[in-house]
């Protein structure tokens, strides 16, 4: 299997099969980040980012967007507090029916460097013969999973979708009018302050809805620029904090979507001219895994419709 310049020794089918083995099959739901809530939004790009890229959503005009916040579990019934990793997927609606996505999470790096290691990670947790402690020890002993112990120790219960920072995990290239490329990573930073917490609700969807009745929820897009020694194609390794950061614009949520954006696939490789994928293998593999998950969901929906028609 090959995507771009990245050959894989595992397939998206294997990856999704393993997720289903770990978490069972939840018919009609995404195979990861099954439970979520969606909002319409408006993105106002800043002047500071336009000189680095010709991408239409990074110019001067405001752009409509769809935002989906989600929990990381493949199960829509998993307790939220047990899943501190949250997602924020944004679809920018471009002219002529086009779109592009930023699919991000509230962790600074991905858990593995390669798709093969990620599938191996899933397989470790799929083994019923190992205790949870034995599974963690297996991860600590492998250099493939060097990021996991630090990530686990840093995770805390999430109090609000609106108070989290979300990271692109992968690097991208911005390309300007002179075909000059710069490698960047994206980050959504909350504009809200910690003192804006409204309730002690453990239901993050309810908390966000209550918050929006009192104030606007906004995120600032920060663009971090790589330097010569930074690893562009390794999503498991952070870049130094002293790297150049530019404010790319502000995203403002407006109203909750009744459809939950369930029909939208937030493939992180769908990009307009002016933004390009790096050769990060996990980035390209995610695209294939998203497509496999979407295809399975669609088959399940079609089967439900057929069964419903037969019963009528």
> CATH code at 65?
2.40.180.10
Other CB atoms within 10 A of residue 272 CB: 17
Q: Domain range holding 191?
A: 2-228+236-301
Mean pLDDT score, 98-105 = 97
- Answer for the pair 38, 66: CB distance below 8 angstroms, yes or no: yes
Residue 310 within a domain:
no
Q: Percent of the chain having pLDDT more than 90?
A: 54
The better pLDDT of the pair 244, 82 is held by 244
Q: Note the pLDDT of residue 297.
A: 87
Mean pLDDT score, 126-148 = 65
Instruction: Give the chain's mean pLDDT.
Output: 86
- Answer for the pair 184, 174: CB distance below 8 angstroms, yes or no: yes
Q: Note the pLDDT of residue 5.
A: 45
Residue 211 within a domain:
yes
Residue 74 within a domain:
yes
| Confidence category of residue 18, pLDDT binned at 50, 70, 90 | confident
Q: Note the pLDDT of residue 306.
A: 79
Token pair of 8, please? 């894989």
Task: Give the total number of structural domains in the chain.
Answer: 1
Q: Note the pLDDT of residue 1.
A: 30
Angle at 188 between CA 183 and CA 146, to 5 degrees: 65
Distance from C-alpha of 132 to C-alpha of 140, rounded to nearest angstrom: 13
The better pLDDT of the pair 281, 137 is held by 281
| Confidence category of residue 312, pLDDT binned at 50, 70, 90 | very low
Distance from C-alpha of 288 to C-alpha of 250, rounded to nearest angstrom: 30
The better pLDDT of the pair 22, 41 is held by 41
Q: Note the pLDDT of residue 91.
A: 98
Q: Note the pLDDT of residue 142.
A: 67
Residue 307 within a domain:
no
Residue 272 within a domain:
yes
Strand, helix or coil for residue 44: strand
Residue 9 within a domain:
yes
DSSP 33: S
- Answer for the pair 286, 8: CB distance below 8 angstroms, yes or no: no
Residue 256 within a domain:
yes
Residue 311 within a domain:
no
Closest CA to 65 of 275, 305, 299, 266: 266
Give residues with Cβ within 8 angstroms of 131, minimum separation 6.
none
Q: Note the pLDDT of residue 49.
A: 94
């Amino acid at each position: 299997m090959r995507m771009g310049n990245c050959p894989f020794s595992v397939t998206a089918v294997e990856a999704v099969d393993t997720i289903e083995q770990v978490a069972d099959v939840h018919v009609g739901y995404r195979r990861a980040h099954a439970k979520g809530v969606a909002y319409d939004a408006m993105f106002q790009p800043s002047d500071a980012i336009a000189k680095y890229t010709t991408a239409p959503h990074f110019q001067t005009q405001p752009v409509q967007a769809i935002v989906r916040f989600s929990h990381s579990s493949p199960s829509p019934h998993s307790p939220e507090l047990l899943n501190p990793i949250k997602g924020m997927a944004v679809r920018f609606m471009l002219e002529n029916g086009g779109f592009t996505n930023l699919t991000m999470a509230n962790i600074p790096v991905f858990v593995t460097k390669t798709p093969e290691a990620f599938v191996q990670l899933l397989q470790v947790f799929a083994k019923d013969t190992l205790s949870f402690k034995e599974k963690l020890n297996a991860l600590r002993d492998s250099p493939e999973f060097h990021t996991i112990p630090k990530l686990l120790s840093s995770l805390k219960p999430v109090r609000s979708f609106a108070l989290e920072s979300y990271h692109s995990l992968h690097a991208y290239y911005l390309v300007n009018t002179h075909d000059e490329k710069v490698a960047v990573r994206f980050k959504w930073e909350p504009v809200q302050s910690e003192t804006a917490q409204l309730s002690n609700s453990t239901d993050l969807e309810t908390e966000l809805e209550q918050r929006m009745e009192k104030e606007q929820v906004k995120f600032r897009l920060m663009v971090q620029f790589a330097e010569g020694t930074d690893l562009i194609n390794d999503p498991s390794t952070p870049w130094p904090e002293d790297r150049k950061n530019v404010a790319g614009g502000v995203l403002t949520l407006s109203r909750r979507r009744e459809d939950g954006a369930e029909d939208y696939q937030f493939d992180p490789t769908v990009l307009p001219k002016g933004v390009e994928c790096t050769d990060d293998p996990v980035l390209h593999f995610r695209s294939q895994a998203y497509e496999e998950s979407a295809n399975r969901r669609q088959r399940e929906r079609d089967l439900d419709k057929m069964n419903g028609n037969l019963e009528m």
